[in-house]
Protein backbone atom coordinates (compact mmCIF):
# COMPACT_ATOMS: atom_id res chain seq x y z
CA UNK A 1 0.00 0.00 0.00
CA UNK A 2 1.10 3.56 -0.55
CA UNK A 3 2.75 5.48 2.25
CA UNK A 4 1.02 8.75 1.48
CA UNK A 5 -2.65 9.15 0.71
CA UNK A 6 -4.08 12.43 -0.55
CA UNK A 7 -7.51 13.78 0.15
CA UNK A 8 -9.57 14.78 -1.73
CA UNK A 9 -8.91 12.85 -4.93
CA UNK A 10 -10.25 15.73 -6.99
CA UNK A 11 -10.98 19.39 -6.37
CA UNK A 12 -12.71 21.97 -8.55
CA UNK A 13 -12.57 25.64 -7.63
CA UNK A 14 -12.96 29.08 -9.16
CA UNK A 15 -9.97 31.24 -9.93
CA UNK A 16 -9.10 33.34 -6.91
CA UNK A 17 -10.28 30.79 -4.38
CA UNK A 18 -7.97 28.82 -2.09
CA UNK A 19 -7.33 25.12 -2.60
CA UNK A 20 -6.46 22.81 0.27
CA UNK A 21 -5.43 19.20 0.01
CA UNK A 22 -4.31 16.79 2.67
CA UNK A 23 -1.88 13.91 2.90
CA UNK A 24 -1.78 11.17 5.49
CA UNK A 25 1.03 8.69 5.96
CA UNK A 26 1.73 5.65 8.08
CA UNK A 27 5.32 5.48 9.31
CA UNK A 28 7.90 7.89 10.66
CA UNK A 29 9.47 10.08 8.03
CA UNK A 30 12.62 12.09 7.38
CA UNK A 31 10.69 14.61 5.34
CA UNK A 32 7.54 15.03 3.32
CA UNK A 33 7.54 16.48 -0.17
CA UNK A 34 4.85 17.97 -2.39
CA UNK A 35 5.00 17.74 -6.16
CA UNK A 36 2.95 19.02 -9.04
CA UNK A 37 2.31 17.24 -12.33
CA UNK A 38 0.86 18.85 -15.40
CA UNK A 39 -0.88 16.53 -17.82
CA UNK A 40 1.58 14.46 -19.78
CA UNK A 41 4.63 15.82 -17.98
CA UNK A 42 7.00 14.74 -15.25
CA UNK A 43 6.59 15.70 -11.63
CA UNK A 44 8.07 18.94 -10.37
CA UNK A 45 8.91 19.48 -6.73
CA UNK A 46 7.15 22.28 -4.87
CA UNK A 47 8.07 22.17 -1.20
CA UNK A 48 9.99 19.84 1.10
CA UNK A 49 9.22 19.97 4.82
CA UNK A 50 11.41 18.12 7.29
CA UNK A 51 10.09 16.12 10.22
CA UNK A 52 11.19 18.79 12.72
CA UNK A 53 9.39 21.59 10.85
CA UNK A 54 5.73 22.48 11.25
CA UNK A 55 5.07 24.97 8.48
CA UNK A 56 6.71 26.18 5.31
CA UNK A 57 5.84 28.79 2.71
CA UNK A 58 6.79 29.31 -0.89
CA UNK A 59 5.02 32.08 -2.76
CA UNK A 60 1.31 31.23 -2.76
CA UNK A 61 1.97 27.78 -1.31
CA UNK A 62 1.76 26.89 2.36
CA UNK A 63 2.55 23.45 3.72
CA UNK A 64 1.93 22.23 7.24
CA UNK A 65 3.13 19.04 8.88
CA UNK A 66 1.70 17.37 11.98
CA UNK A 67 3.88 14.41 12.83
CA UNK A 68 1.67 13.42 15.77
CA UNK A 69 -1.23 12.91 13.37
CA UNK A 70 1.02 11.76 10.53
CA UNK A 71 -0.55 14.27 8.19
CA UNK A 72 0.33 17.24 6.02
CA UNK A 73 -1.64 19.82 4.11
CA UNK A 74 -0.91 21.92 1.04
CA UNK A 75 -2.71 25.22 0.63
CA UNK A 76 -2.67 27.14 -2.62
CA UNK A 77 -3.90 30.68 -2.08
CA UNK A 78 -5.51 32.90 -4.70
CA UNK A 79 -5.55 30.09 -7.24
CA UNK A 80 -5.03 30.70 -10.94
CA UNK A 81 -6.11 28.70 -13.98
CA UNK A 82 -2.44 27.79 -14.43
CA UNK A 83 -2.54 25.94 -11.09
CA UNK A 84 -4.66 23.27 -12.74
CA UNK A 85 -2.64 20.08 -12.26
CA UNK A 86 -2.31 16.99 -10.12
CA UNK A 87 -0.60 17.39 -6.76
CA UNK A 88 1.20 14.58 -5.00
CA UNK A 89 2.71 14.13 -1.60
CA UNK A 90 5.71 11.87 -1.13
CA UNK A 91 7.40 10.59 2.00
CA UNK A 92 11.06 9.95 2.56
CA UNK A 93 11.44 7.43 5.36
CA UNK A 94 14.83 6.58 6.80
CA UNK A 95 13.42 3.33 8.22
CA UNK A 96 12.56 2.35 4.66
CA UNK A 97 16.04 3.07 3.35
CA UNK A 98 15.19 6.59 2.22
CA UNK A 99 12.61 5.18 -0.12
CA UNK A 100 10.53 7.94 -1.74
CA UNK A 101 6.92 6.81 -2.06
CA UNK A 102 4.00 8.76 -3.47
CA UNK A 103 0.32 8.98 -2.73
CA UNK A 104 -2.46 8.80 -5.29
CA UNK A 105 -2.57 12.54 -5.88
CA UNK A 106 -5.22 15.24 -5.91
CA UNK A 107 -6.46 16.50 -9.28
CA UNK A 108 -7.11 20.22 -9.04
CA UNK A 109 -9.15 22.10 -11.63
CA UNK A 110 -9.14 25.87 -11.40
CA UNK A 111 -11.89 27.37 -13.51
CA UNK A 112 -11.32 30.84 -14.95
CA UNK B 1 22.70 20.57 -15.90
CA UNK B 2 20.04 19.41 -18.37
CA UNK B 3 18.10 17.58 -15.68
CA UNK B 4 17.12 13.93 -15.72
CA UNK B 5 17.08 12.66 -19.26
CA UNK B 6 14.97 9.70 -20.32
CA UNK B 7 14.83 7.97 -23.65
CA UNK B 8 12.90 7.20 -25.65
CA UNK B 9 10.00 9.58 -24.95
CA UNK B 10 7.55 7.25 -26.64
CA UNK B 11 7.78 3.57 -27.38
CA UNK B 12 5.27 1.39 -29.20
CA UNK B 13 6.09 -2.27 -29.33
CA UNK B 14 4.43 -5.57 -29.98
CA UNK B 15 3.65 -8.02 -27.23
CA UNK B 16 6.55 -10.35 -26.59
CA UNK B 17 9.23 -7.90 -27.65
CA UNK B 18 12.00 -6.68 -25.38
CA UNK B 19 11.80 -3.06 -24.28
CA UNK B 20 14.67 -1.06 -22.82
CA UNK B 21 14.12 2.30 -21.17
CA UNK B 22 17.07 4.53 -20.43
CA UNK B 23 17.81 7.20 -17.85
CA UNK B 24 20.62 9.65 -17.25
CA UNK B 25 20.38 11.12 -13.74
CA UNK B 26 21.60 14.51 -12.65
CA UNK B 27 25.34 14.48 -12.08
CA UNK B 28 26.24 14.10 -8.42
CA UNK B 29 22.92 12.66 -7.30
CA UNK B 30 23.29 9.49 -5.26
CA UNK B 31 19.73 8.12 -5.52
CA UNK B 32 17.93 6.96 -8.65
CA UNK B 33 14.30 5.86 -8.72
CA UNK B 34 12.19 4.14 -11.36
CA UNK B 35 8.42 4.69 -11.18
CA UNK B 36 5.50 3.51 -13.27
CA UNK B 37 2.34 5.61 -13.59
CA UNK B 38 -1.07 4.37 -14.70
CA UNK B 39 -4.56 5.68 -14.16
CA UNK B 40 -5.54 2.58 -12.22
CA UNK B 41 -2.51 2.21 -9.94
CA UNK B 42 -1.14 5.72 -9.74
CA UNK B 43 2.58 6.27 -9.27
CA UNK B 44 4.30 3.05 -8.24
CA UNK B 45 7.91 2.79 -7.15
CA UNK B 46 9.49 -0.09 -9.02
CA UNK B 47 13.09 -0.01 -7.84
CA UNK B 48 15.63 2.43 -6.51
CA UNK B 49 19.40 2.63 -6.33
CA UNK B 50 21.80 4.29 -3.95
CA UNK B 51 25.31 4.88 -5.29
CA UNK B 52 24.53 2.52 -8.19
CA UNK B 53 23.50 -0.33 -5.87
CA UNK B 54 19.88 -1.58 -5.98
CA UNK B 55 18.36 -1.04 -2.54
CA UNK B 56 14.77 -2.16 -2.92
CA UNK B 57 13.25 -3.88 -5.93
CA UNK B 58 10.11 -5.07 -4.16
CA UNK B 59 8.00 -2.95 -6.50
CA UNK B 60 9.17 -4.74 -9.62
CA UNK B 61 6.01 -6.52 -10.73
CA UNK B 62 7.48 -9.67 -12.22
CA UNK B 63 10.69 -11.35 -13.28
CA UNK B 64 10.06 -9.92 -16.72
CA UNK B 65 11.26 -6.59 -15.30
CA UNK B 66 14.91 -5.91 -14.58
CA UNK B 67 16.92 -2.77 -13.89
CA UNK B 68 20.59 -1.99 -13.87
CA UNK B 69 22.79 0.93 -13.00
CA UNK B 70 26.26 0.15 -14.35
CA UNK B 71 27.61 3.57 -13.40
CA UNK B 72 26.56 6.81 -11.76
CA UNK B 73 25.40 8.38 -15.00
CA UNK B 74 23.23 5.69 -16.55
CA UNK B 75 20.44 3.29 -15.70
CA UNK B 76 18.19 0.99 -17.71
CA UNK B 77 14.85 -0.63 -17.08
CA UNK B 78 14.20 -3.66 -19.23
CA UNK B 79 10.99 -5.58 -19.84
CA UNK B 80 11.34 -8.94 -21.52
CA UNK B 81 8.94 -10.14 -22.81
CA UNK B 82 6.59 -7.16 -22.82
CA UNK B 83 2.83 -7.53 -22.35
CA UNK B 84 -0.07 -5.13 -23.02
CA UNK B 85 -0.59 -4.62 -19.26
CA UNK B 86 2.89 -3.09 -19.10
CA UNK B 87 1.58 -0.08 -21.01
CA UNK B 88 2.18 2.95 -18.80
CA UNK B 89 4.35 6.01 -18.37
CA UNK B 90 7.68 5.14 -16.81
CA UNK B 91 9.53 7.84 -14.90
CA UNK B 92 13.09 8.02 -13.73
CA UNK B 93 14.03 10.40 -10.94
CA UNK B 94 17.24 11.24 -9.12
CA UNK B 95 18.03 12.98 -5.86
CA UNK B 96 20.56 13.66 -3.18
CA UNK B 97 19.86 11.96 0.12
CA UNK B 98 17.26 13.84 2.14
CA UNK B 99 16.36 16.18 -0.71
CA UNK B 100 13.63 16.34 -3.27
CA UNK B 101 13.71 14.29 -6.44
CA UNK B 102 14.08 15.57 -9.97
CA UNK B 103 11.99 13.73 -12.52
CA UNK B 104 12.58 13.06 -16.17
CA UNK B 105 9.85 13.67 -18.71
CA UNK B 106 8.94 10.01 -18.76
CA UNK B 107 8.69 7.29 -21.37
CA UNK B 108 5.20 6.50 -22.58
CA UNK B 109 5.17 2.78 -23.35
CA UNK B 110 2.43 1.18 -25.40
CA UNK B 111 2.49 -2.57 -25.88
CA UNK B 112 0.09 -3.80 -28.55
**Interchain proximity A42–B91, CB inside 8 Å:** yes
C-alpha–C-alpha distance, residues B46 and B15, integer Å: 21
Q: Is the pLDDT of residue B10 over 90?
A: yes
Q: Is the pLDDT of residue B74 over 50?
A: yes
| The pLDDT value given to residue A43 | 95
Q: What is the mean pLDDT of chain B?
A: 95
| The pLDDT value given to residue A100 | 87
> Which residues, including other chains, have CB under 8 Å from residue B39's CB and lie 6 or more apart?
none
**Interchain proximity A43–B95, CB inside 8 Å:** no
Q: Is the pLDDT of residue B28 over 90?
A: yes
Residue pLDDT, tens place only, A39-98? 888 999 999 999 999 999 999 999 999 999 999 999 999 999 999 999 999 998 877 777
Which residues does chain B have within 8 Å of residue A2's beta carbon, measured at their own beta carbons? Answer: 42
| The pLDDT value given to residue A2 | 45
Which of A100, A104, A105 is the mutation pick for testing B, counting most B CBs within 10 A?
A100
For B96, which residue in chain A has the nearest alpha carbon? A98
- The three-class DSSP label of residue A112 is coil
Closest Cβ–Cβ partner in B42, B48, B100 for A104: B42
In the DSSP assignment, the letter for residue B111 is E
For CA atoms A42, A14, A32, A57, give the dihedral sign.
positive
Contact at 8 Å (CB) between A25 and A85? no
| The pLDDT value given to residue A1 | 38
Confidence of residue A5 (pLDDT cuts 50, 70, 90): confident
| Mode of pairing for the β-strands spanning A106-111 and A10-14 | parallel
> Which residues, including other chains, have CB under 8 Å from residue B83's CB and lie 6 or more apart?
B15, B64, B111
Our CA-based measurement puts residue B105 at a distance from the nearest CA of chain A, in whole angstroms, of 5
Confidence of residue A3 (pLDDT cuts 50, 70, 90): low
In the DSSP assignment, the letter for residue A81 is G
Confidence of residue B2 (pLDDT cuts 50, 70, 90): confident
Q: How crowded is the C-beta side of A21, counted as CA atoms within 13 Å?
A: 28
For B10, which residue in chain A has the nearest alpha carbon? A40
Question: A55 exposed, middle or buried (CB, 10 Å; 0-12, 13-18, 19+)?
Answer: exposed
Chain A residues 29-58 with CB within 8 Å of chain B: 30-31, 33, 35, 41-45, 48
Amino acid sequence: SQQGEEDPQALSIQEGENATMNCSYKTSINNLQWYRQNSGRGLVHLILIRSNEREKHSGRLRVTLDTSKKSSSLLITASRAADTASYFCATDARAAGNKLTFGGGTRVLVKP
Amino acid sequence: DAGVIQSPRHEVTEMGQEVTLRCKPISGHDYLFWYRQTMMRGLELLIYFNNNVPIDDSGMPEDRFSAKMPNASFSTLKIQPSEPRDSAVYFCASSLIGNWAFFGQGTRLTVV
